[in-house]
Amino acid sequence: MKILLAVGTRPNFVKIAPIIRAIEKTDMEYILVHTGQHYDPAMSRSFFEELDIPEPYVNLRQSLDTPIGFGTMMNIFDLTLDKIRPDYVIVVGDVDSTFACALVAARKGIKVVHVEAGLRSFDRTMKEEINRILTDSISDLFFTTEEMANYNLLREGKDINRIFFVGNVMIDSLKYILKKTIDEPFKPLSFDVKEKKYGIVTLHRPSNVDNKEILESLLDTLYTISKNLRLIFPLHPRVKKNIALFGLKDKLESLSDNIIIADPLGYSEMIRLMKGARLVITDSGGVQEETTYLNVPCLTVRENTERPITVDVGTNILVGRDMQVLEDTARKIIFGEVKEGCIPPLWDGHAAERIVTILGKEGSHACE
């Protein structure tokens, strides 16, 4: 059985790494294709190194920021499939390249496997929600991270025999990194901070950073929060670009007394920082999951989440885009009012093994 693994962004790398390690313990053949959706070495190369991901068979080097780029990548991926002729194409998550590769594979009659299927925010203003729905509409096998995702897929008419609740491969990678650094004392490589004496901020959603007034309000609120807790704020390229575009560089520089502005961080460094943080402020789906596993309070600056289990049983709190709510909730956590959470079912570091075991059985049936 030949499996093609299609990845394109940092979250994809994190999710695919444990699947590769699990496949390598079998007699299955795999080919890794990097679409190049994230092409910045600081945002891509380090993830391959830290997660021990092998060099991809090919890097399509295609940004998907424009319809032309999207179409070009699909054409190149189509030719790649003709050359490789895999039995399955595995796509992960909800980024543009996930849907693009799934669509090309499905049109060629190649079975599509969606890892992290069935997640829904029910907010179609997010392009990730559209990608999730469309990818699931053409997938053949669905691997889910939480039981609500199973329900969503069944409600949409998917075959119950094609849906497998396997756990969360993001947590597989997180545990892998923690195991590699288990004997190391807490000492982030780039920052002079003490454990539980700082917070982390990660922002990149267009709804938060593509509007000048909203982004400026967020910066003001972060400054207020930082008066009681030092914050580390690695700037996503989208945020950095918009700060320059909106003329907010001076404002950003004025925050530097209490907020550490940083370049994008490698995966290992980010996990170490999250583990030692007092709280995390984010709009990232993956960070909601990672903080839940690490039992670190997470304030999500969104009105909804496609990962409801992080709110139901985890440490995640949706604060919406009301800056007063964000400020008040952060203050409560800083001064000791912490939401206790627990680890969701099957978030145990073995999701990738379950996926590969099921794929092996499915492949055997297909050959009978």
Does the pTM surpass 0.85? The reply is yes
Looking at the chain, list the stretches that DSSP marks H as alpha helix, in order from N- to C-terminal side.
10-23, 41-50, 67-84, 96-107, 127-137, 147-155, 169-180, 206-209, 212-226, 237-245, 249-254, 267-276, 285-294, 309-312, 323-334, 351-367
How large is the greatest C-alpha to C-alpha distance in the chain, in angstroms? 67
The pLDDT tens digits along the chain (368 residues) read 999 999 988 888 999 999 999 999 999 999 999 987 655 655 566 778 888 898 888 887 766 666 667 888 899 999 999 999 999 999 999 999 999 999 999 999 999 999 999 999 999 999 999 999 999 999 999 999 999 999 999 999 999 999 999 999 999 999 999 988 765 655 655 688 888 999 999 999 999 999 999 999 999 999 999 999 999 999 998 999 999 999 999 988 888 788 999 988 888 889 989 999 999 999 999 999 999 999 999 999 999 999 999 999 999 999 999 999 999 999 999 999 988 899 999 999 999 999 999 999 987 655 44
Among 291, 289, 294, 323, smallest CA distance to 305 is for 289
Contact assessment for residue 13 and residue 48, using Cβ atoms and an 8 Å cutoff:
yes
DSSP output for 248-273: -HHHHHHTTTTEEEEPPPPHHHHHHH
Among 306, 366, 363, 314, smallest CA distance to 338 is for 314
How far apart (Å, rounded) are the C-alpha atoms in residues 242 and 196? 30
Please give the pLDDT value at position 367.
47
Pair of tokens at residue 290: 């990672």
How far apart (Å, rounded) are the C-alpha atoms in residues 273 and 276? 5
Q: Assign 3-state DSSP to the chain and report helix, strand, coil percentages, each to 5.
A: 50, 15, 35
Catalytic residue IDs: 204
Task: Give 180-334's CATH code, choosing from 2.40.10.10, 3.40.50.2000, 3.40.47.10, 3.30.70.330.
Answer: 3.40.50.2000
Strand, helix or coil for residue 66 = coil
Please give the pLDDT value at position 129.
97
Please give the pLDDT value at position 16.
96
Strand, helix or coil for residue 58 = strand
Q: HSE of 147 in the Cβ direction (CA atoms, 13 Å)?
A: 5
Task: Give 2-167+347-367's CATH code, choosing from 3.10.20.520, 2.60.290.11, 3.20.10.10, 3.40.50.2000.
Answer: 3.40.50.2000
- Residue limits of CATH 3.40.50.2000 in the chain: 2-167+347-367, 180-334
